[in-house]
Amino acid sequence: MSQEINAEFIQARVNLVQIIATHVTLSKSRFVLKGSCPFHPDDMNSFMVSPAKNIFKCFGCGQEGGPIEFIMAIENKNHEEVVKILGALI
């Protein structure tokens, strides 16, 4: 069958900013995008996304990662499920 879609492949191919923008309003701040964290009550825009590195990090609650970790946390799914969902998009 087809070549296995793995986490590394998804990390490199899936646009994290696009995914996060459907859940969080992002505004530009120098080299990153900032917004209100979807994982904790946040009125300080602690949530950062780096388009260059394709990763996110919240400086309030410590949640961080790439496209897989974001979908796992926001949709409460496990790693295998998310790899399948994102693999189908690319």
State the residues that interact with Zn ion by CB under 5 A: 37, 39-40, 58, 60-61
CB of 64 to Zn ion, least distance (A): 9
Tokens 């609650």 appear where?
61
3-class state of residue 41 by DSSP: coil
- Sign of the CA dihedral 69, 73, 75, 81? positive
Record the tokens describing residue 56, joined without a space. 């996110």
| Closest to Zn ion by CB, 9 or 39 | 39
CB of 39 to Zn ion, least distance (A): 4
| Closest to Zn ion by CB, 11 or 46 | 46
